[in-house]
Amino acid sequence: MNGARICIFTMKGDSRGNLVAIEGNIDLDFQISRVFYIFNSSPQIIRGKHANRRSKICFIAVAGTCRIVVDNGKEREEFLMDTPSKGLLCDSMTWKEMKDFSSDCVLLGISDLPYDEGEYITDYDAFLQEINHG
């Protein structure tokens, strides 16, 4: 789908455990500027419900599971986030909704830009208007 794609990160492991390393401009197609995570969300809660005008974000369920619905203004797709070696890279101007959090879910977000409240579109109809008519 245009606007979002799955990334599989290299996982290394031995008898001591597993490790995934993510480097900006190597494992992701951008320099990392911000890292955040969501946790203690109940399965009934829907997080996100917004698009970012400029920033890209990669989501990784580092623990537990959740689902992410993405929408590019023409099509919607739902992704199950269920392993810490899989990321969902969302381009700018992609609507995102995170839901169905397991009780142990920790959803990591890695962004190419610092937080800027002004780049968020939180009304779906306004998102459709902006993406379809500029």
pLDDT values of the chain reduced to their tens digit, one per residue, 134 residues = 899 999 999 999 999 999 999 999 999 999 999 999 999 999 999 999 999 999 999 999 999 999 999 999 999 999 999 999 999 999 999 999 999 999 999 999 999 999 999 999 999 999 999 998 86
- The amino acid at residue 15 is S
The pLDDT of residue 67 is 98
Give dist(CA 122, CA 46) in Å, integer: 13
In this structure, what token pair is assigned to residue 18? 């597993």
Comparing CA positions, the residue from 38, 12, 39, 10 lying closest to residue 22 is 10
Q: Which fold has domain 4-10+22-133?
A: Jelly Rolls (2.60.120)
HEC secondary structure over 114-126: CCCHHHEECCHHH
What does the block give as tokens for 51? 């698009």
pLDDT of 78 reads 98
Amino acid at 102: S
Predicted confidence at residue 86, as pLDDT, reads 98
Q: Model-level pTM?
A: 0.95
pLDDT on residue 34? 98
Distance CA 64, CA 103 (A): 7
Residue from 57, 38, 55 nearest 98 by CA:
38
Q: What is the pLDDT of residue 47?
A: 97
Residue positions annotated with a catalytic role: 50
Predicted pLDDT at 102: 97
Instruction: Report the pLDDT value the prediction gives residue 134, as an integer from 0 to 100.
Output: 65
